[in-house]
Amino acid sequence: MLSINPANNTVRENYKLLIGSVIPRPIAFITSIGENEVINGAPFSYFNIVSAEPPMISVSVQRKGVEQKDTARNICKHKEFVIHIVDEDNVTKINDTSASLRPNESEVEMAKLTLTESESIKTPGIKEAKIRFECELEKCIELGDGNNINTDFIIGKIVRIHVDEKVYKNGKIMYEKLNAMSRLAGNDYAKIGKIVTIERPK
For the segment 92-131, what is each residue's pLDDT rounded down to a tens digit? Answer: 999 999 988 888 889 999 999 999 999 999 999 999 999 9
Q: Is 146 a residue whose pLDDT tops 80?
A: no
Q: Tell me what pLDDT residue 174 has.
A: 95
Phi and psi angles of residue 53, each rounded to the nearest 5 degrees, phi first: -140, 95
Q: Is 51 a residue whose pLDDT tops 80?
A: yes
> pLDDT tens, 52-102?
999 999 999 999 888 899 999 999 999 999 999 999 999 999 999 998 888
> pLDDT tens, 16-42?
999 999 999 999 999 999 988 999 999
Q: What distance in Å separates the CA atoms of residue 37 and residue 175, rounded to the nearest whole number?
A: 34
Q: Tell me what pLDDT residue 100 has.
A: 84
Q: DSSP states of 143-185 as a string?
A: EEETTEEEEEEEEEEEEEEEE-GGGEETTEE-HHHH-B-EE-S
| pTM to 2 decimal places | 0.94
Mean pLDDT estimate for the chain: 94
| CA distances from residue 90 to 154, 173, 176, 184 in whole angstroms, order as listed | 24, 18, 16, 17
Residue of 101, 95, 107, 125 whose CA lies nearest to 31: 125
Evaluate the omega torsion of the peptide bond into residue 201 and state whether it is cis, within 30 degrees of 0. Answer: no
Q: What distance in Å separates the CA atoms of residue 141 and residue 63, rounded to the nearest whole number?
A: 13
Torsion sign across C-alpha atoms 22, 63, 76, 126:
negative
* CATH number assigned to the domain with residue range 9-190, chosen from the 4 options 2.30.110.10, 1.10.645.10, 2.60.120.260, 3.40.50.180: 2.30.110.10
Q: Tell me what pLDDT residue 80 has.
A: 98
Q: Tell me what pLDDT residue 103 has.
A: 83
Do 62 and 130 contact (CB within 8 A), yes or no? no
Q: Is 11 a residue whose pLDDT tops 90?
A: no
Q: Tell me what pLDDT residue 108 has.
A: 94
Amino acid, single-letter form, for residue 158: I
Q: What distance in Å separates the CA atoms of residue 153 and residue 9, rounded to the nearest whole number?
A: 23
Torsion sign across C-alpha atoms 50, 56, 57, 62:
negative
For the chain, how far is it from start to end, CA to CA, in angstroms?
34
Q: Domain boundaries in the chain? A: 9-190
